């Protein structure tokens, strides 16, 4: 599968976001792939390519203010605006390849974005794949910094605050990938006070997955040595969801970004194989089963 096509998508408020497309000749399904708070689509091209090799069209946007998007760096007006963006990504998939519901993959912070989208638009989400999702953080702003954020929301809502994830060792144990993270000029290192408020509200929206209307297949993939998210709380949350088709896969000893393992082939296969199988089932195959 060739490198992605890089395009722009103009949102309804006029913001132009960079997106990556992988477009097989005859796609059998579609994936919306949402990245984390510091990262961008360029971090996850390996797994997106593997999905495309399984016959899935993949749309991987750079979230507004991140990655290739230089306008309003690190900023988003609200959780509502970010969820509207996600809805517009789904609409772009429908226009481009004709699928009304997409398989949604969310990595890290993108995991709660994906879950909140399923709550908001359950009919648009064929399945959820949550990769080390940021539903429950193990890393947070210090109390003093939270006070400064609260003050800034009144006095200077676009004041930037450092994202407390600037140690590349949090993401990977592989030295080569650490070097990649450290020198990545597109990596987002700060977000505005308004974005942080939007993120908190996204937490609340994602938490409603338990009592919302979405009941599709869900695959949770966890890094066994994750120092960014709380695996135990995340696992318990997913196990408590009223879902008939749920899988939990954990990689012992892996750091947060499963894409950045020394050998990520098992992760690629687990992710792409599960989505491809649910695509087959949506086309009339057998029902899924619960594991994990």
Q: What's the pLDDT tens digit per position in 15-33?
A: 999 999 999 999 999 999 9
The position carrying tokens 């390519």 is 49
Average pLDDT rounded to a whole number, residues 79-89:
97
Domain boundaries, the chain: 5-140+198-282
Average pLDDT rounded to a whole number, residues 145-172:
92
State both tokens at 85. Answer: 């963006």
Banded model confidence at residue 164, pLDDT cuts 50, 70, 90: very high
Are the beta carbons of 111 and 132 closer than 8 angstroms? yes
Choose which CATH entry (3.20.20.150, 2.60.40.10, 3.60.15.10, 3.40.50.1820) describes domain 5-140+198-282.
3.40.50.1820
Residue 284 has pLDDT above 70, yes or no: no
Average pLDDT rounded to a whole number, residues 91-117:
95
Average pLDDT rounded to a whole number, residues 102-130:
97
Banded model confidence at residue 287, pLDDT cuts 50, 70, 90: very low
Are the beta carbons of 11 and 91 closer than 8 angstroms? no
Helix (H, G, I), strand (E, B) or coil at 183: helix
pLDDT at 290: 41
In whole angstroms, what is the distance from residue 149 CA to residue 9 CA?
A: 31
Average pLDDT rounded to a whole number, residues 91-116:
95
Mean residue pLDDT of the chain comes to: 93
State both tokens at 57. Answer: 């069209």
Q: What's the pLDDT tens digit per position in 178-199?
A: 999 999 999 999 999 999 999 9
Run of H or E including 249: strand 246-251
Banded model confidence at residue 289, pLDDT cuts 50, 70, 90: very low
């Amino acid at each position: 599968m060739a490198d992605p096509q890089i395009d722009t998508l103009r949102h309804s408020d006029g913001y132009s976001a960079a997106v990556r497309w992988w477009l097989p000749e005859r796609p059998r399904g579609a994936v919306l792939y949402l990245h984390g708070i510091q990262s961008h689509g360029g971090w996850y091209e390996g797994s997106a390519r593997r999905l495309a090799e399984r016959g899935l069209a993949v749309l991987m946007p750079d979230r507004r203010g991140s990655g290739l998007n230089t306008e309003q760096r690190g900023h988003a007006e609200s959780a509502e605006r970010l969820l509207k963006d996600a809805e517009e990504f789904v609409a772009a998939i429908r226009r481009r390849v004709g699928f009304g519901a997409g398989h949604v993959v969310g990595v890290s912070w993108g995991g709660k974005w994906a879950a909140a989208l399923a709550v908001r638009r359950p009919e648009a989400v064929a399945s959820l794949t949550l990769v080390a999702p940021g539903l429950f953080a193990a890393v947070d702003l210090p109390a003093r910094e939270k006070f400064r954020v609260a003050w800034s929301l009144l006095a200077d809502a676009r004041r930037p605050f450092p994202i407390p994830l600037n140690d590349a060792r949090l993401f990977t144990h592989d030295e080569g990938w650490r070097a990649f993270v450290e020198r990545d000029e597109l990596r987002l290192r700060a977000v505005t006070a308004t974005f942080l408020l939007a993120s908190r509200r996204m937490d609340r929206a994602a938490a409603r997955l338990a009592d919302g209307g979405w009941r599709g297949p869900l695959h949770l993939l966890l890094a066994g040595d994750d120092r960014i998210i709380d695996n135990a709380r995340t696992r318990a949350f997913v196990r408590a969801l009223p879902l008939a088709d749920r899988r939990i896969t954990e990689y012992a000893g892996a750091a947060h970004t499963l894409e950045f393992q020394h050998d990520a082939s098992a992760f690629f296969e687990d992710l792409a194989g599960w989505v491809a199988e649910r695509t087959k089932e949506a086309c009339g195959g057998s029902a899924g089963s619960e594991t994990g």
